[in-house]
Amino acid sequence: MKSLALALAASLAAVTASPALAAMEPETFVFRVDASSLESEQDVRAAYLRLTQEAARYCRVLDISTARDQAVCRLDVVANVVEAVGDDRLTAAHQAATQERQLAGAG
């Protein structure tokens, strides 16, 4: 059983335009997912939910002051992890969640 562990330096300055985030020291976000655990749609949803929850906790630890910057941080961390994992099903789950957020914000 092959396991994939990702440690991403959250160099948020590179992926956001927020001055508050740009001034921060990079921290490390670690997300572990077993590649074989992404077999079913339910497994992918569970992994994506866990990723979003861990990303939210990570961004809270960074002590980012505004809700907008917290949201940007969380989305950047999730997007970077999804890209690094490179699993089509996880990518599709992320794209669906992103579209849902955009539709909810448009209403």
Percent of the chain with pLDDT over 70: 71
Structural domain spans, the chain: 3-106
CA distance 39 to 18: 37
Identify which of 13-22, 40-49, 96-105 has the greatest average pLDDT: 40-49
Query: What are the Cα distances from residue 54, in Å, to 1, 32, 74, 75, 104?
Result: 23, 11, 9, 12, 22
Of residues 8 and 33, the one with the higher pLDDT is: 33
| Per-residue model confidence as pLDDT tens digits over 37-87 | 888 999 999 999 999 999 999 998 887 888 999 999 999 999 999 998 889
**What is the overall mean pLDDT for the chain?**
77
